[in-house]
Chains A and B, each alone.
Chain A
């Protein structure tokens, strides 16, 4: 055997190929994530709590019907007894300032920080799940959960309203009456707009979630952002920045209840949300892609 042979030694077997990702991997990851989110007792309780709002509101209005108190309250609420469809709008209106931001805070704040605090993040990342993919799947799962929350409110409101007050032709804000079927479509539009206008806050919450290992911190910060935004929106001195505020266009869903819907207004509201999503989505990605996972 020559010296060269000794040096070369046995021919090394070819390096094993890196295992390839299987088709449907992202779908499996997302399904697993959704199962986790919707399987958590806390999240189920949260959804049930939100769904109870229209039920309680409907019952209160039903009981107060015919008393001196009936017809009082903010615009949409007063109309509920006339048409059950309005209970959907009234319930969403009541949940928007605090309960829905709270829901978003809990769901999005938990997304990354929850995995970090329980230590499961390091095991997901070493499976490996790519960081960008994990963030995207967490974002989608959170959005699905928030959408489910909005839908839970809307559907329970629709059922409660239909049972207690009946569904009749819808009298729009402009006074025109449209058939019940078209009215239902309008109310569905309101629900869709509300869900869509919450995406910006989800992105903000996701970003906070990448900053900390303490989920409660990220949750609280997210809720605070929504509240501060609403407060700033009330200060006339800050009128210049109002159109860009996260919450400024939230109540524009009322546009859906006009005879001629001004799509420009709604589009502007959605554009603002898209901008918040872009900015905070990029920040979350920038942070999470390089963050040291030491939990």
Chain B
């Protein structure tokens, strides 16, 4: 396999066969000495597996590769193993087999040195119910051996401001709404400058406004150079901000790579808008070009470019050459959602 983008169809084939496809930048194992440099990926796993008791593996030999500076959308239906993977990355759960590296350091061995540089939100926020938001952050900061107590107050205020919680900072956590709890969780992850943020379902429980804010926040952080690993079972919520995508299903990583490469390599369709009279002629031109799946509907003629090697430019030239009146020409990429359905074959439902 070359290291170029892999078509989702290929990826889907591979998925059916049961192996993982790395869509771009396929990783050869990196020698240990280079792991610790900045170049090491923010997250890397090798054959990471977790089995709870005798149940089928919750996470089954996945090879994650999250490049530095990327926003990596970790997608998958409920129960596909996203949270379990994240728990293993953070040293909360011991892998049954396989290894994980965070910022180039082996986990869980290097927790003490690595985790201060990683902000986390795992499976929803959790705080002391009787303490206020600010008090909770104060407690967390006091428990962090490497956090400077002299700057604690300022950092806490900044984090509260950043998530828009300053006004409710002194309310007991117990009285917070779901969205306020989620925001406090994000504030805790942002208590210190981080190199990597691991956010498991960060938009859970947020209103549309809050969801948008989280997206903006993630984008800002990414622009400032922070790598973000964000999991979700809601595609639409994160697809806009992701530079990379990894799709889990039943404990396996079906596909991962740059989002653009994944969707662009998909079945692109061309839609020609012409006059009613020219529609038939346009369809004939498309068929003559070797396009498949040609369908005319009124003034629109649609066809698939998949597997033909024909570009939009060629289509437009051929149409003009044939004297078809060209009112519009559109290239449609498959959405992430479609890609996902192609990959998992069953849409976004709990698979087990």
Say yes or no: A13-B38 contact (C-beta < 8 A), given A20-B146, A126-B122, A129-B145. Answer: yes
Q: Are A294 and B130 in touch, CB under 8 angstroms?
A: no
Within 8 A of A (CB), among B70-103: 87, 90-94
**What CA separation (Å) do A22 and B112 show in the bound complex?**
13
The answer to whether B120 and A16 touch across the interface, beta carbons within 8 angstroms, is no
Picked from A13, A14, A118, A129, the residue with its CB within 8 Å of the CB of B126 is A118
With A and B bound together, what is the CA distance between A290 and B37 in angstroms?
29
Q: Is A177 an interface residue (CB 8 A)?
A: no
In the complex, the answer to whether A15 meets B144 with C-beta atoms within 8 Å is: no
Which chain A positions have C-beta within 8 A of B291?
A: none
User: Are A126 and B118 in contact (CB-based, < 8 A)?
Assistant: yes
* Of A26-34, A160-168, A242-250, the one touching chain B: A26-34
Beta-carbon contact of A15 and B112 below 8 Å: no
Q: Which residue of A lies closest to B34 (CB)?
A: A12
B116 A127 Cβ-Cβ under 8 A: yes
CB–CB A122/B122 < 8 A: yes
In the complex, which residues of chain B have a beta carbon less than 8 angstroms from the beta carbon of A18? 110, 112-114, 116-117
- The answer to whether the Cβ of B258 comes within 8 Å of any Cβ in the partner chain is no
Which of B38, B87, B115 is within 8 Å of A127, CB to CB? B115
For the complex formed, measure the closest distance between the CB of B184 and the CB atoms of chain A, giving whole angstroms: 11
Give complex CA distance A39, B172 in Å. Answer: 13
- B146→A21 contact, CB < 8 A: yes
| CB-contacts of A12-55 with B (<8 A) | 12-16, 18-22, 25-26, 28-29, 31-32, 35-36, 39-41
* A28 to B147 CA separation, bound complex (whole angstroms): 11
**For the complex, what is the distance from the CA of A173 to the CA of B39, rounded to whole Å?**
76
Q: How many residues of A contact B (CB 8 A)?
A: 37
* A268 CB within 8 Å of chain B: no
| Interface check A123, CB cutoff 8 A | yes
Contacts of B139 in A (CB 8 A): 32, 35-36
A59 on the interface (CB 8 Å rule)? no
**CB of A262 within 8 Å of the partner chain:** no
In the complex, chain A residues whose CB is within 8 Å of the CB of B117? 16, 18-19
Q: Is the CB of B142 within 8 A of A290?
A: no
Interface of A is mostly: loop
Q: Smallest distance from the beta carbon of B181 to chain A beta carbons, Å?
A: 11
Does B316 lie at the interface of the complex (its beta carbon under 8 Å from any beta carbon of A)?
Answer: no
Cα-based distance from A293 to B83 in the complex (angstroms): 12
Q: How many Å from the CB of A7 to the closest CB on chain B? A: 13
Q: How far is the CA of A292 from the CA of B92 in the complex (A)?
A: 6
Check B148 against A292 for contact (C-beta < 8 Å). no
Chain A residues in 8 Å Cβ range of B140: 123-124, 127
Chain B hits for A14, CB < 8 A: 38
**A12 and B38 form a contact (CB under 8 A):** yes
Which chain A residues border B130 with CB–CB below 8 Å? 39-41
Known contacts A19-B146, A292-B93; A36/B87 CB under 8 A: no
Q: Tell me which residues across on chain A come within 8 A of B113, comparing CB atoms.
A: 18-19
Known: A22-B146, A28-B143, A128-B115. 11 other contacts (CB 8 A): A13-B38, A19-B113, A19-B117, A29-B145, A36-B131, A122-B90, A122-B126, A123-B126, A126-B91, A126-B92, A127-B143
- Closest CB pairs A-B (n = 6): A119-B126, A18-B113, A25-B145, A19-B146, A32-B142, A128-B115
Contact assessment for B120 and A126 in the assembled complex, using a CB-CB cutoff below 8 Å: yes
- Answer whether residue A120 sits at the interface, using C-beta atoms and an 8 A cutoff: yes
Contact between A126 and B115 (Cβ–Cβ < 8 Å)?
yes
- Are A119 and B111 closer than 8 Å at their CB atoms? no
Q: Complex formed: what's the CA distance from A25 to B112 in Å?
A: 13
B195 contacts the other chain (CB 8 A): yes
Whether A120 pairs with B142 at a CB distance below 8 angstroms is: no
Which residue of chain B lies nearest to A28 when distances are taken between CB atoms in the complex?
A: B142
**Smallest distance from the beta carbon of B129 to chain A beta carbons, Å?**
7
Whose C-beta in chain B lies nearest to the C-beta of A29?
B143
Contact B145 A21 (CB under 8 A): yes
**Cβ contact within 8 Å between A127 and B94:** no
A130 within 8 A of B: yes
- Which residues of chain B come closer than 8 Å to A39, judged between CB atoms? 130-131
Report A-chain residues with C-beta under 8 Å of the C-beta of B91: 125-126, 128
Known: A19-B117, A128-B111, A290-B94. A32 touches B143 (CB 8 A): yes
